[in-house]
Every structure is written in C-alpha cells, then in structure tokens.
Structure 1
Amino acid sequence: MFSNIIRRQIFRGLSRTLPQFRQFHDDFTNNPDELRKKLAPLKKFQVFQDSEQIILDVEEERQLREQQELSGEIQPLKQQRIIDMDISLERGLTGVFEIEEIVKILRKENGIDICVCKVPPELKYVDYICVVTGRSHRHMLGMAEYIRRIFKLKRHKGDVLPRIEGANGRDWMAIDLGNIALHIFSHAARVNYDLESLWALGSQYDEACNQKEDENLGSLDKYSIYLEDLKPKTD
C-alpha cells in the first residue's frame, strides 16, 4: 500500500512537469485547441464539485418543482412549452384562437398540408375551415389534444371547452373552436372527402359531392325496386 502512495505522488509530480500529450485527433487537424473546444460539450460525464448544487432524486425534484409552480417562481411544464413555442395565452379577438395561431401550432406539431378556407358570413357557421393531415392516428390525436389543451388555458369563463369528435376513429377528427372548424384527416380520408374543394369551389363544382348525389339516387332506385318485390300479389 505504501508503494502505491509513492507511485501516485511520483505520477502527480511528472504530470505537472511534463508537456501535455498530443491526442489522436491532433494529428489530423491544423488547430488542435479549437477541436478540443468543439469536443468538450460531447463529454458524457462531469466531475462533481462540492460547491455545485445538490443533486436531488426524481421524487425530490418533482416536489421542488411543484412548490416552485405554486409559488409562481417558475411556469408549469405545460405552460412553459407553450411559451417556448411563442404562443400567447391571451384570448383572441374573434375567438379563443385566431386562425394564425392555429396554423402556427399545426406547423410546430408537424402537420401536413395545412389548408385554410374562409367561410362566407351569410352561412352563419364559422369564420374559417382548417384542414390538416396527420402521419398516424397517434399524431392526429396528439395535435387535437394539444390544441384543446391550449384552448383550455386561453379561454374565458363563457367559452365552452370543445370536444374532439371522432377521437376513437383512425381517419378523421374534428374540433369546433367556435370561430374555426378544425378537421384532422389521415391521408386516405382527406383524399376521399376532399373538403378543400367543397369549401373553396362550392358543392356545384365539387366532383365528390356530385358523385355522391348520383350514388344516392341509384341506391334509392334499387330500394324502390326492392319494396315493389315485397308487395303482396293480388290475383
């Protein structure tokens, strides 16, 4: 044991007097000092110093954060994420959301092919129809729930918290935000329903809408023939 102590002291003395050893990457760069600065943040471990902040376990850290949130020292995690996304928690003028805010949120959440159609005021429905495509059912539900969560933080007492229609479905979800009707589709369902053509061009120019009318007429004709066959025969 005594010999190990002597060896450590000798090694410490040599490390102070000998020049710094070259690292492997030094042979392949013209500026080793700059390379070391770039590689410094990549170190996985850090030497703990007594002067540093006390490390808490998971439960202690959770309790500390709850106390700080209640005292107002820090923002709750949900609100902090919204602030990080640069989204105002104040209610909009035309509704809880302005259409620009919805588009910003959908873009941040990686919504695909966002489309906005302005609805004529004489229809007395909503101000805008917003259509977006999700990559998967999980992605679709995540966008819907996140918008509903922000709605809850922005709304006033008189604003009714909206429901997510079709939350259990895998192809279509909708949220009535008051001034905005948001439709979240899978790729296949969006192509099938083609709401953009319906609201942008009108039903008279929408091929899908006219095709459905023809199919409905055909179904009624078949149903009438079926009823004729059920009539009792009178001789």
Structure 2
Amino acid sequence: MIINTKEKLEVIVRAADDRLAHDIMVLDVAQLTPLAEYFVVMDAKNDRQLSAIINEITSVIEENNFELKNVEGKNGGKWVLIDMNDIIIHVFHYSERANYNLEKIWQDAPLVNVSDWISEQ
C-alpha cells in the first residue's frame, strides 16, 4: 500500500497528540522551500514528555515503514528535529519554542487544519 504525504502527516500528528504534544501546528512549506512539503511544530511541557513524544513519533515511523532520514537533538536537546524528507518535525521544550519562533519565520506558509486529528483536551 502506497501512502501519500498527507496520510503520513496525519499519522505523525496523531502520534504526537497521543503523547500530549502541545500546540501542534502544521505549515505547508512546499511552495517556499525545497527542504520539505510540511513542517510540523509542537512543544512539550517537560523533558520526559519531550522524550515520550519523540519516541512515539519515531515508533510510528518505523511501524509504517516511512522513510526516516535523520533525528537531531535527541540526546538532551531542547529542540529535536525529525527529518522524513517530505515532512520535518520540530519538537521543542516549551521554554525554547518562542526563542526560535518558526511560525513567524515561516509565516507565509499556509497552516494545515489538523483539528480532526487532535483530541479535545
């Protein structure tokens, strides 16, 4: 079964939400950069939750045989980047997200509505 990028995106967002990632945003950067089609940005309230989110996302990537190019910052970082080629996932410690403000840097990127993929809490 071939899965498209939007379907992969849903799997990733649901996995992050399952581990209580906060303020999950998806930016459609396909028209703005050759780096990826989507950036997924989220934060975690503490180091333990950050690790749980990263572990869940990398697990679903493996389970679904999605391509995983690289994971940076996993060992003690406050910003972990998961590169899947077409999707780049940014998981921040809550205290660091505002410092980098990716949403502002990429403000020309349309937001993807992920409300159907996120549980109400």
Place the TM-score, normalised by the shorter chain, in its bin.
0.7 to 0.9
Deviation at 1:168, TM superposition (A): 1.7
Q: Does 1:144 align with 2:54?
A: yes
- Alignment-derived partner of residue 184 in structure 1: 91
Q: Structure 1 137/120 Cα, relative in aligned 2: closer, same or farther at 3 Å?
A: same
Q: What secondary structure is seen at the aligned counterpart in 2 of 1:190?
A: helix
Partner deviation per Cα, 1:168-206 (whole Å, 9 max, x = no partner): 23411110012111000111210111001111248xxxx
Q: Structure 1 115/94 Cα, relative in aligned 2: closer, same or farther at 3 Å?
A: closer
Deviation at 1:116, TM superposition (A): 0.9
Partner deviation per Cα, 1:24-64 (whole Å, 9 max, x = no partner): xxxxxxxxxxxxxxxxxxxxxxxxxxxxxxxxxxxxxxxxx
Q: Structure 1 131/122 Cα, relative in aligned 2: closer, same or farther at 3 Å?
A: closer
The structure carrying a bigger helix percent of its residues is 1
Q: Does 1:94 align with 2:1?
A: no
- Alignment-derived partner of residue 112 in structure 2: none
- Alignment-derived partner of residue 79 in structure 2: 172
Q: Calculate percent identity across the aligned residue pairs.
A: 27
Unaligned runs of 5+ in 2: 110-121
Distance in 1 of aligned mates of 2:103 and 2:32? 19
Equivalent residue pairs, number: 109
Contact 1:91-1:155 at 8 Å conserved across structures: no
Deviation at 1:111, TM superposition (A): 0.6
Deviation at 1:91, TM superposition (A): 5.5
- Alignment-derived partner of residue 30 in structure 2: 120
Distance in 1 of aligned mates of 2:98 and 2:43? 10
Q: What secondary structure is seen at the aligned counterpart in 2 of 1:149?
A: helix
Distance in 1 of aligned mates of 2:32 and 2:91? 25
Deviation at 1:108, TM superposition (A): 1.4
Contact 2:19-2:56 at 8 Å conserved across structures: no
- Alignment-derived partner of residue 104 in structure 1: 14
> Runs of 4 or more off by more than 3 Å in structure 1?
none
Normalised TM-score (structure 1): 0.42
The structure carrying a bigger strand percent of its residues is 2
Distance in 1 of aligned mates of 2:59 and 2:81? 15
Distance in 2 of aligned mates of 1:122 and 1:193? 18
Partner amino acid, structure 1, of 2:71: I
Unaligned runs of 5+ in 1: 1-89, 203-235
Normalised TM-score (structure 2): 0.77
Q: Which moved more, 1:132-141 or 1:116-125?
A: 116-125
